[in-house]
């Protein structure tokens, strides 16, 4: 059985497998009012106390009154020595929330924006976020990933990853520079990338799902829903929440699978971290796997 408290290495950086996604720290566009700044700072500091040393963020995680990068910098500087901050470039957002995809010659500016907002002199891990806001898109990633590889050689980036891609795009990126992680949408009832997850394991590359829990909530993300009864049955056996069971299932998919659940709520943070300690039996895993493959 996989030890869910194991670590994984992103290049030469060691992270605990249960991390934190920063997107929800600022609140979401549909929220009626801004999220509490104090709660966000509490979540970040408490995450470190609970052993989280991997935070996923981006300069385009913002609302009109909140910026995830600014919250991270305010809450955690001076940064713990073992903290790994992963960021994304390629995608961008205007002040009115519209997404766009940057040309290769604009990526340096996005990298420097993240560096400036976080108060760093370089970025630990940068993912090239490919394609549309949600769906994958075909095409060559070579020009964009090559631009990031040049910034890595220049010392602005330590390690590179890639996000929202298919297997051929990962292969193309790896022909240009080392790839330490793939970040794609994936969860119990959103299993399109099963084969890519397995491929990453074979290659020794971290697979980092996003929306691993929210794909189960109608309207929260464009993923499949279902499996409520099966998840509830397993949750009851462990005195856990359905979200905890979905996170635990995700981590059971392989030692190279990292989790980055996002929250701006201190109580939800504690539940997410506790999910890393849940042990699902072979029978429970078979029951849940049947949901996703049905």
Look up residue 198 and give its two tokens.
Answer: 């397995």
Contacts for 30 with CB less than 8 Å, ≥ 6 apart: none
- CA–CA distances in Å: residue 245 to residues 19, 87, 248, 252: 16, 27, 5, 10
Of 8, 61, 207, 211, which one is the catalytic site residue? 61
Strands 66-67 and 62-63: antiparallel
Which residues are bridge partners to 91 per DSSP?
Answer: 101
Task: Outline where the chain has alpha helix (H).
Answer: 37-49, 68-76, 107-118, 142-153, 167-174, 194-203, 228-238, 242-251, 266-275, 282-293
- CA–CA distances in Å: residue 53 to residues 132, 227, 280: 29, 31, 24
3-state secondary structure (DSSP) of residue 23: helix
The pair phi, psi for residue 203, each rounded to 5°, is -90, -5
Active site residue 79: no
Task: Mark 86-109 as b/e (b = at least 16 C-beta within 10 Å).
Answer: bbbbbbbeeeeeeeeebebebbbe
CA distance 175 to 244: 37
Do 153 and 145 form a contact (C-beta atoms < 8 A)?
A: no
CA distance 196 to 198: 5
| Residues labelled catalytic | 61
């Amino acid at each position: 059985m996989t030890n869910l408290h194991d670590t994984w290495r992103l290049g030469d950086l060691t992270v605990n497998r249960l991390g934190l996604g920063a997107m929800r720290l600022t609140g979401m566009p549909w929220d009626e009012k801004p999220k509490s700044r104090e709660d966000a700072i509490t979540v970040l500091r408490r995450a470190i106390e609970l052993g989280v040393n991997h935070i996923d963020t981006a300069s385009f995680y913002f609302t009109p009154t909140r910026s995830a990068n600014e919250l991270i910098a305010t809450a955690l500087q001076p940064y713990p020595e073992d903290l790994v901050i992963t960021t994304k470039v390629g995608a961008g957002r205007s002040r009115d929330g519209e997404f766009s995809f940057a040309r290769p010659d604009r990526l340096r500016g996005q990298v420097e924006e993240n560096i400036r907002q976080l108060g760093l002199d370089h970025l630990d891990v940068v993912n090239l976020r490919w394609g549309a806001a949600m769906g994958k898109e075909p095409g060559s990633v070579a020009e964009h990933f090559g631009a990031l590889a040049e910034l890595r050689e220049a010392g602005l980036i330590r390690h590179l990853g890639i996000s929202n891609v298919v297997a051929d795009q990962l292969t193309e990126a790896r022909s240009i520079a080392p790839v330490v992680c793939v970040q794609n949408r994936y969860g119990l009832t959103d299993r399109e990338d099963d084969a890519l997850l397995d491929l990453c394991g074979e290659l020794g590359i971290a697979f980092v799902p996003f929306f691993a829990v929210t794909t189960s909530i109608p309207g929260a993300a464009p993923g499949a829903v279902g499996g409520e009864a099966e998840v509830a049955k397993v949750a009851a056996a462990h005195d856990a929440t359905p979200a905890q069971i979905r996170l635990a299932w995700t981590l059971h998919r392989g030692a190279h699978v990292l989790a980055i659940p996002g929250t701006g709520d201190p109580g939800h943070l504690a539940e997410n971290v506790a999910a890393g300690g849940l042990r699902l039996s072979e029978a429970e895993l078979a029951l849940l796997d049947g949901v996703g493959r049905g």
